[in-house]
């Protein structure tokens, strides 16, 4: 089935009226998508450490159990940290959600196919790891339902959202890592 | 002669006193008792990891959320952390690693030797300050120095615990005939 969703629309919808939601954006296109939706101090966009975005989400969720945490990352980044789905499934944090924006490509390096292009079902992996909700999403209704789950359903919840493979102009967040971590802490804790 | 110290108990107490709330680990035989103490402590959230690299992400996320973290691993696991340590350096995130050494004098398993020998150097190359406890009497005081570097000065620091403290892993009963 051909994907019809566009990644920027999907991420804008997921982050709409986000309230106190804490966001970790995986490196590359998903960091640009989150920035295009509106850069915010409670978003931590990553520029490296590929494969660790979900674990940052877990650390944040354990540190702030009363807040909701969303990891927005790509299929290539998620594949590099597949073990973290097992770890999160074992911990079962109730306040953590992961949205994989799946274009079946390594978008920053020449649009080479990832394993999801060959049929790898990340939602099935998350399901077998113990996520309470794990869905493949291909339409706007599904995206809207997942947005509601991010804020209200007991986690961990997971969505693999199939999007059109398109090369878009990057919308860059600040790059300085120290500034990025300090701005989260200032906004969240009132100290850097 | 001084009685053998219960270093895992001391380390656990020191971590607790420093308000370490998140502990990530990949087991090592030498860490068994410390892991059990952390797991039994309801003020600490102990997270079993599938690979040590996950722990770097876990500690970074905990720091963003205002919680102190510690990671427990054996020296082979240091190699699994390398690229993620680049984030710790760039973002200037405080980090505390406790590493039990393999591949030192008396090691039977030669496959442990290359990473064991490189672990300290690899950490230093990635801007992690390395402290080394050569005997069990030194562990707690070394840990306090390591924690000062991490939590007081905001740096990344690792405490390496010499293999002679942990003992040489025995392969007795094994056969390769």
Kindly state whether residue B176 falls inside one of the protein's structural domains: no
Q: What is the pLDDT of residues A104-131, one digit of tens each?
A: 999 999 999 999 999 999 999 999 999 9
pLDDT confidence of residue B1: 47
pLDDT confidence of residue B4: 67
Domain count within chain B: 1
ipTM above 0.90, yes or no: yes
| Count of pairs with CB atoms under 8 A, one residue in A, one in B | 125
Q: Do B67 and A22 touch (CB under 8 A)?
A: no
Kindly state whether residue B100 falls inside one of the protein's structural domains: yes
Per domain, the residue ranges of chain A are 7-189
Range of the domain at B120: 7-166
Kindly state whether residue B132 falls inside one of the protein's structural domains: yes
Q: Do A87 and B49 touch (CB under 8 A)?
A: yes
A96 Cβ partners below 8 Å, 6+ apart? A57, A58, A61, A69, A71, A88, A155, A156, A157
Kindly state whether residue B86 falls inside one of the protein's structural domains: yes
Q: Which of A33, A42, A40, A39 is nearest to A12 (CA)?
A: A33
pLDDT confidence of residue B170: 75
Distances (CA, A) of A154 to A65, A160, B74: 12, 18, 35
Kindly state whether residue B177 falls inside one of the protein's structural domains: no
Distance from CA of A9 to the nearest CA of B (A): 27
Q: What is the CATH number of domain A7-189?
A: 3.40.50.970
Q: What is the average pLDDT score of chain B?
A: 94
Kindly state whether residue B171 falls inside one of the protein's structural domains: no
Full-model pTM: 0.96
pLDDT values of chain B reduced to their tens digit, one per residue, 177 residues? 455 689 999 999 999 999 999 999 999 999 999 999 999 999 999 999 999 999 999 999 999 999 999 999 999 999 999 999 999 999 999 999 999 999 998 888 999 999 999 999 999 999 999 999 999 999 999 999 999 999 999 999 999 999 998 877 777 777 765
Q: Do B87 and A49 touch (CB under 8 A)?
A: yes
- CB < 8 Å to B61, chain A: 24, 55-63
How far, in Å, CA of B45 to CA of B47, rounded?
Answer: 6
Q: How many CB atoms lie within 10 A of CB B26?
A: 21
pLDDT confidence of residue B120: 98
pLDDT confidence of residue B87: 98
Kindly state whether residue B143 falls inside one of the protein's structural domains: yes
- CB < 8 Å to B57, chain A: 49, 52-56, 58-59, 81, 84
pLDDT values of chain A reduced to their tens digit, one per residue, 192 residues? 677 999 999 999 999 999 999 999 999 999 999 999 999 999 999 999 999 999 999 999 999 999 999 999 999 999 999 999 999 999 999 999 999 999 999 999 999 999 999 999 999 999 999 999 999 999 999 999 999 999 999 999 999 999 999 999 999 999 999 999 999 999 999 987
Kindly state whether residue B149 falls inside one of the protein's structural domains: yes
Q: Return the CATH number at B43.
A: 3.40.50.970
């Amino acid at each position: 089935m051909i994907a019809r969703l566009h990644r920027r629309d999907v991420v804008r919808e997921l982050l709409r009226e986000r309230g106190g939601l804490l966001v970790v954006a995986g490196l590359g296109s998903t960091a640009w998508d989150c920035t295009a939706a509106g850069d915010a101090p409670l978003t931590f966009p990553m520029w490296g450490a590929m494969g660790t975005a979900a674990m940052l989400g877990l650390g944040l969720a354990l540190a702030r159990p009363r807040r909701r945490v969303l990891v927005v990352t790509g299929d290539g980044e998620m594949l590099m940290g597949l073990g973290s789905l097992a770890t999160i499934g074992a911990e079962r944090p109730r306040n953590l959600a992961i949205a994989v924006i799946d274009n079946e490509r390594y978008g920053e390096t020449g649009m080479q196919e990832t394993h999801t292009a060959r049929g790898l079902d990340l939602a099935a992996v998350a399901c077998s790891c113990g996520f309470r909700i794990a869905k493949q999403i291909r339409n706007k209704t599904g995206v809207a339902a997942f947005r509601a789950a991010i804020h209200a359903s007991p986690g961990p919840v997971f969505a693999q959202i199939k999007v059109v493979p398109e090369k878009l102009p990057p919308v860059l967040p600040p790059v300085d890592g120290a500034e990025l971590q300090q701005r989260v802490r200032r906004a969240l804790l009132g100290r850097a | 002669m001084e009685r053998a110290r219960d270093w895992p108990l001391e380390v656990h107490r020191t971590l607790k006193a420093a308000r370490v709330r998140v502990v990530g680990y990949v087991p090592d035989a030498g860490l068994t008792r410390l892991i059990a103490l952390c797991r039994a402590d309801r003020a600490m959230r102990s997270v079993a990891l599938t690979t040590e690299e996950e722990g770097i992400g876990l500690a970074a996320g905990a720091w963003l959320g205002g919680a102190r973290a510690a990671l427990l691993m054996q020296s082979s696991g240091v190699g699994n952390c390398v690229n993620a340590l680049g984030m710790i350096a760039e973002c200037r995130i405080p980090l505390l690693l406790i590493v039990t050494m393999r591949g030192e004098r008396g090691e039977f398993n030669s496959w442990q030797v290359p990473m064991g020998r490189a672990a300290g150097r690899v950490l230093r190359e990635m801007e992690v300050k390395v402290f080394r406890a050569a005997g069990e009497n030194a562990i707690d005081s070394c840990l306090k120095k390591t924690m000062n570097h991490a939590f007081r000065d905001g740096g990344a620091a690792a405490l390496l615990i010499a293999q002679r403290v942990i003992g040489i892993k025995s392969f007795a009963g094994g056969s390769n005939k």
